[in-house]
Structure 1
Amino acid sequence: MSIQNNSSVKVIQTTCPYCGVGCGIDVEVKALSLVGSAAHPANFGRLCVKGAHLLETISPEGRLLQPAINGQTASWDEATTLVALKLQQTIAEYGPDSVAFYVSGQLLTEDYYVANKLMKGFVGSANIDTNSRLCMSSAVAGYKRAFGADVVPCSYEDIDQTELLVLIGSNAAWTHPVLFQRMEQAKKSNPAMKIVVVDPRTTASTAQSDLDLHIKSGTDTILFNGLLNYLKQKEAIDRCFVLENTDFADAAFDAAEPYSPEKVSELCDVEYAKVLCFFEWFAASTSAISFYSMGINQSVSGVDNANAIINCHLATGKIGKPGSGPFSITGQPNAMGGREVGGLANMLAAHMEIENKQHNALVERFWSAENMVKTNGLKAVDMFEKLHKGDIKFIWIMATNPVVSMPNRQKIEEALLGCDTVVVSDTVSKNDTLKFANIVLPATGWSEKDGTVTNSERRISRQRAIFSPTGQARHDWQIICDVAAKMGYQKAFAFTHVSQIFAEHAQLTAFENNGERALDLSALADLTKQQYDVLQPIQWPVNKANPKGSSRMFMDNKFFTDNRKAKFVAILPKPPEQVTCKAFPLVLNTGRVRDQWHTMTRTGNAARLHQHTAQAQLSIHPTDAAILCLHEGDLVSLRAQHSPLPVILPTLISKNQREGELFAPIHWSKTWSSHVNITSLFTDANDKISGQPELKHAAVSLKKTAVKAQGSLFVSHEWPELLLNKICDYWVKIKLENGYHYHIALLGAFERQSVAEAKNTPDTSEPISLSNWYAQISAHIIQDSEIQTLTSASQLIAVNIDQEALSMLVVLHMHGKNAVNDVLEYQIDANWLSTLLGKDVVFASDIRDLLRNCPAEEFTQGRLICSCFSVREKTISDAISRGCNTVDNLGKQLKCGTNCGSCKSELSSLIKVTQMEEPK
């Protein structure tokens, strides 16, 4: 990987490619180091642990380096010519709606713009949707219903000024750590500020809260209808604001009337006193922010959830003022930028509407479009349904992994398998979706891409290239323009630099706008290439009235509806679509863990990011675990009515769960484990307005998985999936600094029959011995290596030395009367092994230490708590016992919690636990 030829540039300022916070990053080119940009208003120098370790994720290893057609290497000319030809042939035979693009919030705005222009202006279909449909579309629809436009009214600076901060369905401490640090700082600066957390689970975000409402999953609209009713009953309404600046308030109040605090307490399954406290605080505060995320959006009631929250802000006039407003926080780096250019199937570029005749004609004239689309396209779930039925014959997937992220995995796989032409543009050479591609196109990734992104507070920032492209990778906009030119649309796609695309996008936002549309970048429409290159972060609208951008919207109480008034929406709560029953009695919720992101195609490359949570686990309440006779770490099988294959996970028994409700993280897939793809347990259920899938509420059954034997492999090189499937029934892969750690297992006969890989696994119908299993494993290692073993009746430990270096360590356990004790006695530290893999092991004492599990002292300090500074649990507990009993003091002594802050909630928990355990 080569650095760009610009030796005079010492520091390149760019933007983080993870969540929607949009943190600025300064990369020191010669030293290859990075820090948070101190001047960037999104983060002021802060970075979370994922952002801080970005440079560890960009190795050429695992990158897609050149185009391929049906598995065979091809030139760029061959590949793009074939894509153009397949598009033209499919359109000619089946019509424009037989083709589809499925794109991503990880594309830059300029990539998104040309993809939408090609589909909606020249192909003549609106069948271009995005994975932002899975995270933000309900929030978008809620804003449009209330304000007439997709406008987030708040800025991050409002967090610093609010009296009441309500986190709803958001574990910001882990998912948006930099903003959570800002919340913590606001609380320190103003101790009177109240923080309320509304979430079915106890999460890391509750560490700073004054009130927690652990509501029953799927009852959000009931809670906020109850709040609206309470505000009216207690005359806490801003009547002047409501009368002058809103419509339909009476209908919303009428719909909310049945929901008294007592009724809310009953239906949400929350203590009455807590419900009443929340309602009183909201009514009494002069400012309030409702900060909501996936827990609100990923629901069949997602849009209603959003509008129920917005109703309460409209009723009290807590909008357009410092420290006030409904604030949806975005999951992806450029979900908002994609919406700006029409990234969703029911939108046109520049926040215009496809089926609005005036908007449609305006864009058609601006683009000189040859085949302008007239009707909305297919949203993501519907798109893959049509693909499954065979109505869509061609799909181009860009920068996303729908086999993992979309619900109903089996249907997605069948749809892609049956499609005539599947094109995938991506940065990686392996993920679950690439297996179905006919044509593969290598795209540039973060550190190579050049363009803009828009964060959750409407702030446009530059993402600048640090390195030249890896291999033959090209920018997505270049690939799309090349295909468009080969389809005969060269004039409309004759862009030679990304700044030209941005200029056209900005010009379209200004074209015949006259103040009628919120998105207005007219002050940026004439940027030169040089001005674009040095563009500083700025919030839209950016126009004559706001040449330096706009931090807060609706300060004049004017909205973007037909009469400039905001609209209340009457909300009638409805239950989740996947309801529990006797056969499927448990509710499954999903979300993120602290140090991973999306499907791990980027974060999975950084070994350090595996240390906090090494593998997916199923969180279950102790009461439910006791009923099912489960112990911590037991493998369990999850099934849903529509899904024939089980998801198998180890258990994490936790009081943070509500009884009857489970939680599993979304990140792990079949690239990382044989039996982990959580979204396969979810149906196509989605919000009928937004199309956003219900990914927070599945009805599942749970059963302990019969396991005959388990083990761990520590190896210096990655093992292919086919090999793993031959030696075991179940496996999980964990990246180490110098190799890989695999958890493996042989399952019982029933479990083996229900997995697709059964034919490749050992014959478990016959008695198994550890020596036989180890023989099958060792048959696939270097035969000339030195092997030393330590064996008991139910445990085998083997050390493999190749050319005096440790190449593999195997630990196998039989499940029998003594197996549990053996397993508990040999919990080897993966990080210790990682330091030894590939290193010289020449002394008998080294091998004895490995066989007897005698790690260096630094690896006996318990689980990793602080990833930034590698501080472990025992080190922290010892410091607390010595009197270092505040998070701040721990930071001063050990540095934990002083960088990204993601571990602060765990530090608080350790302080409480350690103090409780100490003798009085």
Structure 2
Amino acid sequence: MKQTASTCCYCGVGCGVLIEHDGQHIHNVKGDPAHPANLGRLCSKGSTLHLTGDLAARALHPELRLGKSMARNRTDWDSALGHAAEVFARTIAEHGPDSVAFYISGQLLTEDYYSFNKLARALIGTNNIDSNSRLCMSSAVVGYKRSLGADAPPCSYEDIEQSNCLLIAGSNMAYAHPVLFRRLEAAREANPAQKVIVIDPRRTDTCDVADLHLPLRPGSDVALFHGLLHLLLENDHVDHDFINAHTDGFEALQALVQDYPPARVATLCDISEAELRQAAELIGKADSFLSLWCMGLNQSSAGSAKNNALINLHLATGQIGKVGAGPFSLTGQPNAMGGRETGSLSNLLPGHRDAANAEHRREVADYWGVAGLPEQPGLSAIELFEAVRDGRIKALWIACTNPAQSMPDQQLIHQALSLCPFVIVQEAFSTTETCHYADLLLPAASWGEKEGSVTNSERRISHVRPAIPAPGSARGDWDIVCDFARRLEQKLRPGQPSQFAFARPAELFDEYKGLTAGRDLDYSGLSHALIDGLGPQQWPFPAGSRQGTPRLYTDGRFATADGRAHFVAEAPRPLSEPADSSYPLVLNTGRLRDQWHGMSRTGTAAQLFGHVERAQLSMHPQDMQARALEDGDLVSLSSRRGTLILPVQADAQLRPGQSFLPMHWGNRFLKGLGSNRLTLSNHDPLSKQPELKQAAVEVTRAVLPWQLFVLVEGDVQQRFAQLRELAEVFDYLSMGLVGRERPAVLLRAAAGQAPDAALLRQLDAACGLDTPQALSLEDSARQISKRIALDGQRIIALRLSGETLARDWLRKLWQDADDITDLRRWLLAPVATPPGVSAAATDKTICNCMNVSQSRICAGIEQGMQLEDLKRELGCGTQCGSCVPEIKQLLAKTAVPA
């Protein structure tokens, strides 16, 4: 067995991984103890990377569709890229360079990003290139640039251990950045004097480490930060010397925050005045103050103002540029930072330059050896898809992202994609919702197969190394882009030397890094080989350096023209869509512990559905009671943009009037275009980042008495696709995978009335239930039908329709391979409640790493076990540790017999 050191492909923590493989297949993955980002730790997603990426879900060969009504057919790379170059050249000639656009991804490598940027701006001559980082980090970009002069997080992960007081705002670190949360937990244990404040409308698992949780009203963050600064001034907990020597604009901010006294802020934020004062006291008396934030601040129509209002607190207290202190945005995707560095937002250029700045355009044009760069501003994500729908964009290239799941207002996105004359999708997984619209599908290499570099949240650049070759005809993203660019060059600039004659990712890196030289992010001293020798390094790393820079602004000089940081004084803005009488609830969206983004990768691993296996809406019990709802009831969840049908569950960790829905569920897993059918495209005026975190909704009961439950093993990707297509007719449809050793497709559906019997026969055929050997029960009078397929004494497929009371009992028989005597008796003499059903409810997997269920943990607690006993006896919480907060919650509420 071989071992290759590489980097995880999930969140922006940038964990190092050791890939165990045989040169053809990946067999295991573990944390790299030598990587400074994670020091050997991995979360539940990272530790199961080797179980994801089912080949049956992969795009393996180029596929081309020559007409919108036709199916795609397999083709070769020469034909595929030749056709793409012909279409792009013709479109540019007829409609101009701004008639084409690129929508790329924070999961690309830096070298991939650079090739796309050079293609769009230097060859085609358009700034219409944007990234899905627009959806997660663009407000942080604006915040850093306005306050500090550059998009440069000034901190390091080690500041988490060294800080005296941490403020976590709009981030459920326990789920979104679990490895950093483990570091925080360890720091708290080592230093009980360390204080933690969590700001979040929900009480999440992250709040378990908090000394103070501020459950503010959604959208009131700016008012809260102004109120904190008001109190810091009142208590003389500001650093006047730092303000005078290193900042400007404080007088205007000081005048503004006088209008935010504690009583007013407590009302605006719906928190107590005592809580507000306690937070200000903890911050003001801290020797070192570190703030960590993520989507709760960024995904807002006031995201930039929220970022700047938080950074104001650091400038006012002088808590920046020193150990354990500073404003630290947590990046959502593995290389969103690399995308920002290479200029992969429509308003940026490589090397932290601005596309609107003529001098910056000249610098990049000169470096690339072209006459000039386009002056016309590029379209940001929302604007870009509006232009596609309106017909201004004629050809769209989408790479490594799934806008047909992740963008807000999904109806708009699906309309745009269906109307676009030519859509290229460059993707590793052929199963994404966006691939449905691809006229040309280009198979890309994925994690473990590609080489390049990524920059994590602390500015640390790691070398991503391949362990195995890409399957089928899949190629590296940079390789696809450069091959296409060389073909397009022949049409747009015939006879000229190619600007895309790159043979290896290292060559792209070496060309790109020259654009960083002398800039705030200077990493002109780095190379793939140097990183291999020294290990991952933080920028700036100018030529001649031997180590990176852990903290920025240690000398009090900032990246502005005059070297002074800027206070930003802005009044709060209301939510774009506040609750009202028609839509009285506020919907919040966020992450699950074990799933990633649109689930294109994690959705291929049945194990990762063990913790949460289907989309459910969480509501406060009081709001459910007012609507006569109980756990598990199907509801219609509606916003001004559409409706989803899904089950509801009570969650007392929410405030009344609020609801929560995970962001991951797309149209593959939940009928109705998924979670983002409900969200709105209103966006921040500066960052153009949409308000994905809040929307006004209403919830009503969905009366769907006819129910369907299907579970089937074997060829899960193929069966999943077949069943998803057949089940589209149902009003409610939820699909996923279950099982660890024997993965199976799980389908739940409901309708107002029974479907045509022919559909059930088709479902049975897709599941192998159409054989005479299948056990069956037919009750046509009650429109109830049940079929079960056995392999010896083991269930391998089952279908319940009409009513599904036995679903949990049968699933337990399938899972545990129990004695099926009761099964035959139940089918011969059916009863409403099958044997043992009351005790056989679906058992949630709390610890995915060690496969420990909730029932086993609760049984141990009832025997008197504490956390360390459970770890020792059951193994839960001993690997990635992501389950520890939930185990602690079970310990707190599970009664131990006297």
Distance (Å, rounded) in 1 between the aligned partners of 2:811 and 2:345: 43
Aligned residue number for residue 891 of structure 1: 871
Distance (Å, rounded) in 2 between the aligned partners of 1:879 and 1:802: 34
Tell me, yes or no, if the aligned pair for 1:861 and 1:874 is still in contact at 8 Å: no
Residue 676 (structure 1) shift: 5.4
Closer/same/farther in 2, CA of residues 154 and 842 from structure 1, 3 Å limit: closer
Distance (Å, rounded) in 2 between the aligned partners of 1:773 and 1:491: 56
> Could you give the per-residue CA deviations for residues 850-905 of structure 1, whole angstroms, max 9, x where no partner exists?
999779999889422111111122222222233322x3342233221121111111
Aligned residue number for residue 17 of structure 1: 9
Structure 2 matches for 1:131-530, cutoff 5 A? 131-370=132-371, 372-488=373-489, 491-510=498-517, 513=518, 517-524=519-526, 527=527, 530=529
Aligned residue number for residue 863 of structure 1: 844
Distance (Å, rounded) in 2 between the aligned partners of 1:894 and 1:277: 39
Aligned residue number for residue 747 of structure 1: 751
> Could you give the per-residue CA deviations for residues 465-522 of structure 1, whole angstroms, max 9, x where no partner exists?
1110110001110111011101126621100011001111112211xx2xxx211012
Structure 2 matches for 1:640-659, cutoff 5 A? 640-643=639-642, 646-659=643-656
Aligned residue number for residue 883 of structure 2: 903
> Could you give the per-residue CA deviations for residues 802-830 of structure 1, whole angstroms, max 9, x where no partner exists?
6887442123354xxxxxxx83x652374
Aligned residue number for residue 687 of structure 1: 684
Q: What letter matches 1:11 in structure 2?
A: Q
Closer/same/farther in 2, CA of residues 147 and 129 from structure 1, 3 Å limit: same
Aligned residue number for residue 625 of structure 2: 626
Residue 376 (structure 1) shift: 2.7
Aligned residue number for residue 828 of structure 1: 809
Q: What letter matches 1:669 in structure 2?
A: G
Distance (Å, rounded) in 1 between the aligned partners of 2:583 and 2:839: 45
Q: Are residue 614 (structure 1) and residue 613 (structure 2) matched?
A: yes
> Could you give the per-residue CA deviations for residues 731-759 of structure 1, whole angstroms, max 9, x where no partner exists?
2112134343434333237xxxxxxxxxx
Equivalent of residue 671 in structure 1, options 668, 673, 676: 668
Distance (Å, rounded) in 2 between the aligned partners of 1:676 and 1:649: 12
Distance (Å, rounded) in 2 between the aligned partners of 1:153 and 1:573: 26
Aligned length: 869
SS at 1:49 equivalent? coil
Q: Are residue 784 (structure 1) and residue 771 (structure 2) matched?
A: yes
Distance (Å, rounded) in 2 between the aligned partners of 1:545 and 1:291: 32
SS at 1:32 equivalent? strand
Structure 2 matches for 1:498-647, cutoff 5 A? 498-510=505-517, 513=518, 517-524=519-526, 527=527, 530-531=529-530, 536-544=535-543, 546-643=545-642, 646-647=643-644
Closer/same/farther in 2, CA of residues 614 and 583 from structure 1, 3 Å limit: same
Distance (Å, rounded) in 2 between the aligned partners of 1:774 and 1:380: 42
Q: What letter matches 1:222 in structure 2?
A: A
Q: What letter matches 1:122 in structure 2?
A: L
> Could you give the per-residue CA deviations for residues 562-617 of structure 1, whole angstroms, max 9, x where no partner exists?
10100000021010111222111111110011100000000011111000000111
Distance (Å, rounded) in 1 between the aligned partners of 2:648 and 2:743: 26
Aligned residue number for residue 18 of structure 2: 26
SS at 2:237 equivalent? coil
Equivalent of residue 54 in structure 2, options 59, 65, 74: 59
Closer/same/farther in 2, CA of residues 569 and 716 from structure 1, 3 Å limit: same
Tell me, yes or no, if the aligned pair for 1:733 and 1:741 is still in contact at 8 Å: yes
Tell me, yes or no, if the aligned pair for 1:849 and 1:855 is still in contact at 8 Å: no
Aligned residue number for residue 68 of structure 1: 63
SS at 2:659 equivalent? strand
Closer/same/farther in 2, CA of residues 558 and 605 from structure 1, 3 Å limit: same
Distance (Å, rounded) in 1 between the aligned partners of 2:816 and 2:855: 20
Distance (Å, rounded) in 1 between the aligned partners of 2:824 and 2:371: 72
> Could you give the per-residue CA deviations for residues 255-293 of structure 1, whole angstroms, max 9, x where no partner exists?
111111111111100122111111111111111111100
Residue 545 (structure 1) shift: 7.3
Tell me, yes or no, if the aligned pair for 1:289 and 1:326 is still in contact at 8 Å: yes
SS at 1:879 equivalent? helix
Task: Please report the TM-score for the alignment, with normalisation by the length of structure 1.
Answer: 0.90
Task: Please report the TM-score for the alignment, with normalisation by the length of structure 2.
Answer: 0.93
Tell me, yes or no, if the aligned pair for 2:723 and 2:763 is still in contact at 8 Å: no
> Could you give the per-residue CA deviations for residues 400-446 of structure 1, whole angstroms, max 9, x where no partner exists?
00011111111111111111111100011121111111111000110
Q: What letter matches 2:291 in structure 1?
A: S
Tell me, yes or no, if the aligned pair for 2:808 and 2:841 is still in contact at 8 Å: no
> Could you give the per-residue CA deviations for residues 358-406 of structure 1, whole angstroms, max 9, x where no partner exists?
2211111111125522243111011111111111111100000001111
Closer/same/farther in 2, CA of residues 59 and 534 from structure 1, 3 Å limit: farther
Distance (Å, rounded) in 2 between the aligned partners of 1:345 and 1:299: 19
Residue 703 (structure 1) shift: 1.1
Closer/same/farther in 2, CA of residues 882 and 676 from structure 1, 3 Å limit: farther
Distance (Å, rounded) in 1 between the aligned partners of 2:810 and 2:282: 47
Distance (Å, rounded) in 1 between the aligned partners of 2:812 and 2:4: 33
SS at 1:523 equivalent? coil
Distance (Å, rounded) in 2 between the aligned partners of 1:805 and 1:889: 35
SS at 2:507 equivalent? helix
SS at 1:429 equivalent? coil
Residue 712 (structure 1) shift: 1.4
Q: Identity across aligned pairs (percent)? A: 40
Distance (Å, rounded) in 2 between the aligned partners of 1:857 and 1:653: 20
Distance (Å, rounded) in 1 between the aligned partners of 2:237 and 2:374: 47
Tell me, yes or no, if the aligned pair for 1:799 and 1:847 is still in contact at 8 Å: no
Closer/same/farther in 2, CA of residues 849 and 503 from structure 1, 3 Å limit: farther
SS at 2:503 equivalent? coil
Q: What letter matches 1:108 in structure 2?
A: L
Residue 561 (structure 1) shift: 0.4
SS at 1:598 equivalent? coil
Distance (Å, rounded) in 2 between the aligned partners of 1:492 and 1:900: 45
Q: What letter matches 1:762 in structure 2?
A: P
Closer/same/farther in 2, CA of residues 734 and 358 from structure 1, 3 Å limit: same
SS at 1:126 equivalent? coil
Residue 72 (structure 1) shift: 1.3
Distance (Å, rounded) in 2 between the aligned partners of 1:697 and 1:108: 31
Q: What letter matches 1:25 in structure 2?
A: V
Distance (Å, rounded) in 2 between the aligned partners of 1:789 and 1:480: 54
After superposition, the CA RMSD in angstroms is 2.5
SS at 2:57 equivalent? coil
Distance (Å, rounded) in 2 between the aligned partners of 1:590 and 1:857: 32
Distance (Å, rounded) in 2 between the aligned partners of 1:380 and 1:726: 29
Distance (Å, rounded) in 2 between the aligned partners of 1:565 and 1:544: 26
Q: What letter matches 2:752 in structure 1?
A: G
Q: What letter matches 1:509 in structure 2?
A: T
Distance (Å, rounded) in 1 between the aligned partners of 2:340 and 2:191: 35
Tell me, yes or no, if the aligned pair for 1:637 and 1:647 is still in contact at 8 Å: yes
Aligned residue number for residue 855 of structure 2: 874
Residue 779 (structure 1) shift: 6.0
Distance (Å, rounded) in 1 between the aligned partners of 2:550 and 2:811: 47
Distance (Å, rounded) in 2 between the aligned partners of 1:277 and 1:387: 50
Aligned residue number for residue 798 of structure 2: 809
Tell me, yes or no, if the aligned pair for 2:731 and 2:752 is still in contact at 8 Å: no
